[in-house]
Structure 1
Amino acid sequence: MAGRFVPRPRTPALPATPRAGAGTRVWVPPTGAFDLGLVLGPLRRGPADPTFRTGADGSAVRATRTPDGPGTLRVGPGDGGVRAEAWGPGADWLLERLPELLGASDDPAAFVPRHRLLALSQRRRPGLRLCRTGLVLESLIPTILEQKVTTIEANRSWRHLVRTHGEPAPGPYGDAPDGPRGSRLYVMPDARTWAMIPSWEWHRAGVDSKRSDTVMRAVRAARRLEEAAAMEPEPAAARLRLIPGIGPWTAAETLQRSNGAPDAVTVGDLHLPGIVGYALAGRADTDDAGMLELLEPYAGQRHRAVRLILLSGRTPPRRAPRMAVGRIAHL
């Protein structure tokens, strides 16, 4: 079941001047549990992500660049479903694809747990659905920034680049106060702007030349890469991997978000094999091959299995200090 749309009058979300493209929709999710935070959580790159905000009422706001231009989308509970408001040239595009974003095409019933841990995790988190943004670059670029560095470093780089070279989000969230305690949202740069960022700005953002060069190659092929959002996961991954610097890890992490790919298992990760091995077999020294063997019973749903493992909180005990956070900009 894909749920259904209930149209509502076009009104602004906050007491602000209405913007062109502002609109409202209410989507009634399919029957069953639905957890907005679990669905949209993977799209947030750290607590200070300049493209994403959450509210105390359970709402989420994301600023993005659609094929029609910048757009801001706010989603939250309302009217027996999910109420969404959008602003900017990309507003209609975002509202039309709201069901896909919130996992309407995902099928949680296709997952059959074969381990007690996964059965318990699924029972405790019944509202998990895999989102599908339909946008490749917005997930690909921050994933490239995460290559071979800590999450803290990557989030810091993403934050600096988007705030420095992006643009304020359409609508009231782009008009909010800026600064460390402000709530202004930004839309990430377009492909041309990414390509124009000088080398010293990448250095200032803490991004080495290997990652910045990969981003440059990706944005030069932006149109072809965005086409992967409408492809099946395997050919989509092959399309992404044609770009030097984009390997299996980067392709999987991107397609999990852009395509909602339930079987896009992440290989080449420093910690994930050990987490999966410990959770399913008590072996913290598991490598990629061992992880794939343990996940074989979930073929077709391996990414969902990994999400449920991570949500279970069962991780191997730490035996070494955390990886040091680097400061490339200070070199």
Structure 2
Amino acid sequence: MQAATDNHPDPDSCYRALLARDARFDGLFFTGVKTTGIYCRPVCAVRAPRRSSCVFFSSAAAAEAAGFRPCLRCRPELAPYALQQNLAFAVWQRIAAGALNEADGDDAGAGGPLERLASEIGLSSRQVRRVLLAHFGVTPVELAQTQRLLFAKKLLQETALPMPDVAYAAGFRSVRRFNALFASRYRMAPGVLRRTGGDDAAGGALTIRLAYRPPYAWTQIMRYLATRAIPGVEAVEEHGGELRYVRSVRLGGVEGWLRVSHLPGRSQVSLEASGSLAPLLMPLAARVRSQFDLDANPAAIEAHLGRDELLAAAIGRAPGLRVPGAFEPFELAVRAVLGQQISVAGATTLAGRLAARFGRPAETPSARAMLHFPAPEDMAALPVETLAQIGLPRARAAALVALARFAADGGLRFAPGAGLEETVARLKTVPGIGEWTAQYIALRALRFPDAFPAGDLGLQKAASGTPGGRLDERGLQARAANWAPWRAYAAVLLWHGPANTTEEQT
């Protein structure tokens, strides 16, 4: 299947997937129907159009640039993203999270959002345009406009937010601009899509849905996160027999909370957030998508890893297993340092002490998530001796202060397209962070699908394939070479295996 790997999806492959309504290809391509002027997801329940009426696009933005409107039934804004490891998609992810939300034009001035984004990437704005045009066939502003409109459409259909709040949350600078672009692109007024009441919870909370490609090993992911949740900051709770994740949130100077639960019948997760976070719903949704690895393509990953007999058995036990991420990379990095050479339970205890001693109160609906984790700037200002009082060796406390200073200076923010080797090398410049810790941070917090901490004792034992056996680091690296570029997923599968009773160090 070649759909969505470039700017010209293979039409015959796309049409076969469309006829099968195969959810594995959801988000990998979109179908424009020439007779109706509407574009759909491959899982749309309407009767399939004739082949001669179909034209296929690798992105929603390309479909809209060609003059097609989104289907009101299958709702293209719900499609999972077509995650790929290249510069164009890395830039697209920044735009989808709202990087250009302040701009009304393609450049918006010398200091505008596009120029700032280009500077972060290390390119000129002209080069950014060229990259996106080559891959998606649209300009940065066209991509941004499509994301804003689709997100606004989601909010109109899933929440009861007032129209001005919908416009601002979707990244528009004015309601007039929002109304005009919506009417121009979709040939209807925004109010036509308004659903009475929405799905908002009591107390002003907002609820939106985020899709993934099935299957999803939700229970395994929740259990994994439960044993590593920072006490007081985040928790996994059981509600009505289902596991859900809740945490405090501090984002863009705004405080609130979020809760994530599973909707398996829809292949979606439900994101519930405090009303205070309404203006930040776009970046918030992007973070949750990353934390729960919603854009993974399990069919492609498992087809590759399943060639290894050991991993094939692990896949059979937990199909759809994702790489559990982190909502806040700094928290995960701190926990990785705390967990060096101690057990998972020990690292969790220390993280809870740190949050209780140096964190700040938070208002959430969960008694188990009433703290905000200390900000990097706050931890960077702590004397090493003070931090060590939670039960740390002085050297470990010094490493945490150095990490906090690194993060406060932007060290955990990496430009799109940064390579794994470059990222690991940069992390290792922090005193106290070695290869294992850097790879673990890259795997869980920075979302590198090929990150692999080969020095991990649990992985070395699990990969041997024999009870009581163990590979050395070099032997594990050699065996894992065939697992690239999905070695992070191989690591998670091994950590969940029955032969692995220790799991990873943190």
TM-score, normalised by the number of residues in structure 1 = 0.79
Whether the 8 Å CA contact 1:139–1:258 is kept in 2: the answer is yes
Name which one, 1 or 2, has greater alpha-carbon Rg. Answer: 2
- Between the aligned partners of 1:256 and 1:196, the Cα distance in structure 2 is 28
CA shift for structure 1 position 299: 1.9
Identify which of 341, 350, 355 aligns with 1:157. Answer: 350
Distance verdict in 2 for CA 1:110–1:14, change over 3 Å:
closer
Other-structure match for 2:469: 284
Other-structure match for 2:208: 25
- Between the aligned partners of 2:296 and 2:428, the Cα distance in structure 1 is 25
Write out aligned runs for 1:1-331 (5 A): 1-2=26-27, 3-4=79-80, 6-7=154-155, 8-9=158-159, 15-16=202-203, 18=204, 22-30=205-213, 32-39=214-221, 43-44=225-226, 46=228, 49-56=231-238, 57-78=242-263, 80=266, 81-87=268-274, 88-89=276-277, 92=281, 93-108=283-298, 109-111=300-302, 112=304, 113-133=306-326, 135-173=328-366, 176=367, 183-222=368-407, 223-228=409-414, 230=416, 231-277=418-464, 279=465, 284-315=469-500
User: After alignment, is 202-211 or 44-53 more displaced?
Assistant: 44-53
> How large is the Cα RMSD of the aligned pairs?
3.1
- Between the aligned partners of 1:55 and 1:264, the Cα distance in structure 2 is 29
Other-structure match for 1:180: none
- Between the aligned partners of 1:96 and 1:47, the Cα distance in structure 2 is 20
Question: Of the two structures, which has the highest relative contact order with CA contacts closer than 8 Å and spacing of 6 or more?
Answer: 1
- Structure 1: give runs of 5+ residues left out of the alignment: 177-182, 318-322, 324-331
- Structure 2: give runs of 5+ residues left out of the alignment: 1-25, 28-78, 81-150, 162-198
CA shift for structure 1 position 67: 4.5
Deviations 1:27-73 (A, max 9, x none): 1222x212334446555554673222222222111334445454422
Count of residue pairs the alignment pairs up: 303
Q: Which amino acid is 1:25 matched to?
A: I
Other-structure match for 1:326: none
CA shift for structure 1 position 298: 0.7
3-state SS, counterpart of residue 49 of structure 1: coil
- Between the aligned partners of 1:207 and 1:100, the Cα distance in structure 2 is 31
Distance verdict in 2 for CA 1:130–1:316, change over 3 Å:
closer
- Between the aligned partners of 1:65 and 1:137, the Cα distance in structure 2 is 13
Distance verdict in 2 for CA 1:123–1:264, change over 3 Å:
same
TM-score, normalised by the number of residues in structure 2 = 0.54
- Between the aligned partners of 1:104 and 1:263, the Cα distance in structure 2 is 17
User: After alignment, is 105-114 or 137-146 more displaced?
Assistant: 105-114
Other-structure match for 2:21: none
Q: Which amino acid is 1:50 matched to?
A: G
- Between the aligned partners of 1:37 and 1:149, the Cα distance in structure 2 is 25
Identity over the aligned pairs, expressed in percent?
A: 23
- Between the aligned partners of 2:221 and 2:414, the Cα distance in structure 1 is 21
3-state SS, counterpart of residue 225 of structure 1: coil
Deviations 1:165-219 (A, max 9, x none): 112334323xx3xxxxxx2432210112212334444333111111111111111
User: After alignment, is 223-232 or 305-314 more displaced?
Assistant: 223-232
